[in-house]
Amino acid sequence: MSTLGILPHQISASTLRKTRRIHRTSGGSRSSSSIVSSASPAPSATPVMVFREVLRPAEAEGDNRMGRREAIGLGFCLNAFLLLRAAAAADEETCSLTTSPSGLAFCDRVVGDGPAAEKGLLIKAHYVGKLEGGKVFDSSYSRGSLSPSASALARPCYLCYIVLGQVIKGWDQGILGDEGIPPMLSGGKRTLRIPPELGYGARGAGCRGGSCIIPPGATLFFEVEFLGKA
């Protein structure tokens, strides 16, 4: 882009007149002068202030078109981001946990329409396990990207048995149903909040060198997606 860069400085009125004549005749075509003077008509010795750059009209128009396209694109991206944020917030608000007599709480984000899970059957399920502060300690979705000790906290539940004694009690209750909790149906997604006595208790899990992946007495949160029977 060709510009005549002029910084704010003082020039004489005679120099200003010469500059205007040059811009009217340069290139064989007239260019609209965008030089702005802050002075009223005065003797030639009176200084004036010049603040703006002189741009060719076609280039300025092109810049305006580019600015409009960029503004529209930015507005579209911002609007999409806000819609996603609003949808996520609405999803969190509509899914309130129901606490059973055992202390386990659940919330069905999606109610499945397939067969229910049965004790002793191999099922396919995805899950994300979190601590109370929101830290993920295990996830079947990102299997292999976590530390090796994370997968040892429970059976890898992409293919796992739902059998008493094979998984923590909170999983048995939360998926098979008990204590007023309905069984999960294939295709369903459920949030579980598991108290320590139905999880890893006072011992915790993954403990080594004085630290534990699941601290003793931790309340656990699971997002479970029941895909169906294996």
Per annotation, catalytic residue among 168, 175, 213, 214: 168
State pLDDT tens for residues 38-81.
Answer: 444 444 444 433 333 333 444 555 556 657 666 676 666 666 54
- Mean pLDDT lowest among 22-36, 122-136, 199-213: 22-36
Q: Model pTM greater than 0.85?
A: no
Is residue 81 annotated as part of the catalytic site, yes or no?
no
What pLDDT is recorded for position 181?
95
Q: Is 127 a catalytic residue?
A: yes
Give the pLDDT band (50/70/90) at residue 27: low
- Average pLDDT over the chain reads 70
SS3 string, the chain, reads CCEECCCCEEECHHHHHHHHHHHHHHHHCCCCCCCCECCCCCCCCCCEEECCCEECHHHHHHHHHHHHHHHHHHHHHHHHHHHHHHHHHHHHHHCCCEECCCCCEEEEEECCCCCECCCCCEEEEEEEEEECCCCEEEECCCCCCCCHHHHHHCCCCCEEECCECCECHHHHHHHHCECCECCCECCCEEEEEECHHHCCCCCCEEEECCEEEECCCCCEEEEEEEEEEC
* 161 is known as an active-site residue: no
Would you state the pLDDT for residue 49? Answer: 39
Q: Which of 138, 162, 175, 221 is catalytic?
A: 138
Q: Which of 137, 175, 213, 221 is catalytic?
A: 137
Q: Which of 200, 213, 214, 221 is catalytic?
A: 200
pLDDT tens for each residue of 110-167: 999 999 988 887 888 888 999 999 999 988 877 644 343 444 344 445 545 566 557 8
Task: Tell me if residue 200 is catalytic.
Answer: yes
